[in-house]
Amino acid sequence: MYDLRWIRENPEAFDAGMAARGVAPQAADILSRDEKARANRTTLQEMQNRRNALSKQIGAAKSKGEDADHLIAEVGELKGALQSGEEIERELSQSLRETLSGLPNQPEADVPVGPDEEANIEVRRHGTPPVFDFKPKEHFEIGEALGLMDFEAASKLSGSRFVVLHGALARLERALSTFMLDIHSTEFGYSETSVPLLVREHTAFGTGNLPKFEEDLFKTTDGFYLIPTAEMVLTNLVRDGVLGEDELPLRFIAHTPCFRSEAGAAGRDTRGMLRQHQFYKVEMVSISHPDDSKNELDRMTGCAEAILQRLGIPYRAMLLSSGDMGFSAKRTYDLEGWMPGQDCYREISSCSNCGDFQARRMSARYKPKQGKGTNFVHTLNGSGLAVGRTLIAVMENYQLADGGFAIPEALQPYMGGMTRVV
């Protein structure tokens, strides 16, 4: 959500940012409507001022028992203009708000400009893809052969894009979640949080999922939205509030199921559990001082990388291009884990700095120690990590010639000492 005054003062920069996002220039249209709204506001205020003054005189006259009819008549003449002025004010400001709430965040200056993932930049790479003396399988081949991953059963229950896990795989999913939560909460300072999975409209608006991306969400018959990520809840924890400057940063971690309609993804990644309507994710959220959000993003990305490193999953970090970033982000790093079965890197985490974009939508502020008033906080979110995809990466990277796979050392304590799944 944008500050109109900022657009007024920086119309070129604003449109440049929109261009990077593949959005047509907006400033001229927005500013002309803004000007109209302000002109109307000014004349409206003059009329209101007049009405107030007359009403005061009427009150005074009546209390003295004098005749106020001519004053009342004069106010009566104002009435129609006053009402239409108020109506125009409402219409203009609402339509401006609607326009502004549908525009994506501005990319940071050094974010590569491009329409899609082709323009992303690899910023670093860690680990070496394992070499197999057999043709590496995809996770669903391994899982199904082991009898621990059942897409047919899931389809019977719920249709496509769901899975049923059994035995060691079900436990591995739980182990991964616990492992991640433990590290983030005990080593990295994220406060473990248990949150609602159903939210109201204003919550989804706050993070930028509404109004523009309603089709991506599941909605219940009584108006709740199922969260597509814990980002939505954790970020909104600070909505409508004013934090003390020394409370920042706030860091939250939560493990939740995530629900996505995948409306625009028909036909993509249909095999396996890479793209599901429901999956678990451990999500990090930081509420940061504006001066610190840049560093906080690096820190957060590092926390996600630490998980991949301890699990021994090779990965690369990508700085996303302006066209590939999410709606609310101004800078995003994707961590892509190596998937031997697909012979490529696939997204397994995404860490974004949203600046004050979401904070404005949520009215989340802090009070600076010096000076008066309040400022908007910065919000950041990152997967730490997507559990389902991490499960895939573990299975594929640790797969064995016999059709099973090994358990990474770091995970073994969480698996009751199990070292491999056969």
Partner RNA sequence: GGAGGGAUGGCAGAGCGGUAAUGCAACGGAUUGCUAAUCCGUCAACGUGUAACAGCGUUGCGGGGGUUCGAGUCCCCCUCCCUCCGCCA
Catalytic residues: 260, 275, 347, 350, 389
According to the binding rule CB under 7 A, does residue 196 interact with RNA?
no
- Does residue 261 bind RNA (CB under 7 A)? no
Q: Binding of RNA at residue 65 (CB under 7 A)? A: no
Which one of 372, 401, 416, 417 is in contact with RNA (CB under 7 A)?
Answer: 372
Nearest approach, Cβ of residue 375 and RNA (Å): 10
Please select the residue that binds RNA; options are 264, 267, 371, 416, rule is CB under 7 A: 371
Best CA proximity match to 102, nearest among 35, 29, 32, 36: 29
- Residue 199 neighbours by CB distance under 10 Å: 20
Q: Is position 64 an interface residue for RNA (rule: CB under 7 A)?
A: no
- Residues 6+ away with beta carbon under 8 Å from 289: 245, 248, 249, 366, 377, 378
Strands 241-244 and 250-259: unpaired
Q: Is residue 54 at the binding interface for RNA, with CB under 7 A as the rule? A: yes
CA 270 from centre of chain: 24
Least CB distance to RNA at residue 80 (A): 11
Verify binding: residue 97, RNA, rule CB under 7 A: no
Should residue 416 be labelled a site residue for RNA when binding is judged by CB under 7 A?
no
Both structure tokens of 150? 């059942």
Determine, following the binding rule CB under 7 A, whether residue 38 of this chain makes contact with RNA. yes
Query: Three-class SS of residue 344?
Result: strand
Name the minimum Å distance from CB 397 to RNA.
38
* Binding of RNA by 48 (CB under 7 A): yes
Nearest-10 Cα torsion for 336, 127, 333, 108: -140
Spatial separation of the C-alpha atoms in residues 351 and 334, rounded to whole Å: 6
Q: Which residues contact 98 (CB under 8 A, 6 or more apart)?
A: 211
Other CB atoms closer than 10 Å to residue 247's CB: what's the count? 13
**Binding pattern for the stretch 238-257 against RNA, x by CB under 7 A and - elsewhere:** ----x---------------
Residues that bind RNA (CB under 7 A): 4-5, 38, 41-42, 44-46, 48-49, 51-56, 58-59, 62, 72, 75-76, 79, 83, 87, 90, 200, 223, 242, 367, 369-374
